[in-house]
Structure 1
């Protein structure tokens, strides 16, 4: 089994001392998954950039990005690869959640992190199923959308509190994205030593920009969910595509959307860096 050279981050050194290895099929499939996510986010970002420039494009979400990619030449081949990559990423998330190869632990913070990995795995399974539907010609998988499941939650006892709780969770995730962008702590998980100093510095800058832009998007999504809870109105809830559309409708909306859209392209570049350079600890 091939072993990748580990860096000198304190958490990674601890993992090395614990006897974990890097490489093998877990690493290969995880890298494939990160690359697939990068393609999806690059598509969302490029379409939003084109919309901001007034040259076509649209505000879309991950499923909309898949539909757009499926319409391209060799779209079926691309969808097949993306479906496999998204399944691979979901599997990696389940490994992170259940087997805990990165030793997040069982304290409160660790369990929350692992629960987030598990939720991410489920979301990517549903996204992979959408890609499979496009491959088989069944069309895009229909879902309830953000407003649909918000309405479902609001119809339950203490529904407004449930929606507010989800909104608060999304806001907390957005704050974590901003924190990661500010501290650049993601560097501990990347083996960038093979890059030149200049390339390494640019890789970090682009990654920070991408994480910050993702933080902006999730701040909007979380804010709209809190508004929906406050007003008990599911139509106030908005997903990724609708949040980008709201940005475009603001004063100087083209500028705002353009900055965030470029940030989403930068986030895609960050995911490609993860695919190439992330230290992946096999269980």
Structure 2
């Protein structure tokens, strides 16, 4: 009986591995993933450019990813561009699921690897919501609901109503700040290099790609740290209004001494992150290649 169960389990595993291999080597998986990185880059480029305009006093606004989608929807070709971005975001979600399920990057099944793969699933969930909002804006059926600070404060308030709610908010804040810290460390140590086929670029081009990518990841990491800190403050003061989204984090930089300079540097960093996404879309190593 035990041998039969073992044999069935082995057959199921082999079928799963075969299905995984077929999916991982499907060219459409890679194409959608590359489009996904590019779409994510477009969103961050919009956020960075709008914030840079605020910093130099030429209009603009501080916004988050949902606000960036609403900005893209404007103009004669806005909805067409947004439709492409929406499809790209679906591709990004698909790739995150593939990363979590099939582990093409070899993160493994130890504690660290499982945490990273769980993070991929969380990312897939976040970008699923963003893709849905993009399609709603394209179709004119919504997508303009609460986001940014409003969204952060709303779910923080709901979470605080639960048992041990303040502690949960603090944990979420520490996790987000930790994610930001990891991004800063990854940028500083240039760990992203091994994901890229930099050998396909000329040496000077590769060096510039690394520098810009490093700046972009550092800037995004800083924003995550700030958002995490605001959540911890909200938990410690039992005040959900202290929570901040991406737009609020940018506004907090602008309100500091030399705020225009800080905001300009961070905004330039977010544009650099968009460039990094474009580099990853073109030169990323996929599926263990």
- 1:218-243 CA deviation, whole Å, 9 max, x = no partner? 11100000000101110000000011
TM-score by length of 1: 0.90
1:75 aligns with 78
- Matched position secondary structure for 2:199: coil
8 Å Cα contact 1:27-1:282 kept in structure 2: no
- Count of residues paired in the alignment: 265
**Residue 245, structure 1, aligned to residue 244, structure 2:** no
CA distance in 1, matches of 2:152, 2:249: 11
Bigger mean CA deviation after superposition, 22-31 or 229-238:
22-31
TM-score by length of 2: 0.89
CA distance in 2, matches of 1:230, 1:183: 33
Q: Pick from 73, 89, 93 the counterpart of residue 92 of structure 2.
A: 89
**Residue 279, structure 1, aligned to residue 281, structure 2:** no
**Residue 176, structure 1, aligned to residue 182, structure 2:** yes
- Matched position secondary structure for 2:58: coil
Bigger mean CA deviation after superposition, 39-48 or 134-143:
134-143
CA distance in 2, matches of 1:249, 1:33: 33
Q: In structure 2, do the counterparts of structure 1 residues 282 and 132 end up closer, same or farther at CA, with 3 Å as the change threshold?
A: farther
2:129 aligns with 126
1:212 aligns with 218
1:84: Cα distance to partner? Answer: 0.5
2:230 aligns with 224
- Matched position secondary structure for 1:193: helix
2:12 aligns with none
Residues 103-182 of structure 1 mapped to structure 2, 5 A cutoff: 103-143=106-146, 145-182=151-188
Shift >3 Å, 4+ stretches:
19-23
Higher RCO, Cα 8 Å, sep 6+: 1
Unaligned runs of 5+ in 1: 1-18
1:23: Cα distance to partner? Answer: 6.7
Unaligned runs of 5+ in 2: 1-20
- 1:32-64 CA deviation, whole Å, 9 max, x = no partner? 100000000000000000010000000000000
Q: In structure 2, do the counterparts of structure 1 residues 266 and 48 end up closer, same or farther at CA, with 3 Å as the change threshold?
A: same
* Greater helix share, structure number: 2
- Matched position secondary structure for 2:39: helix
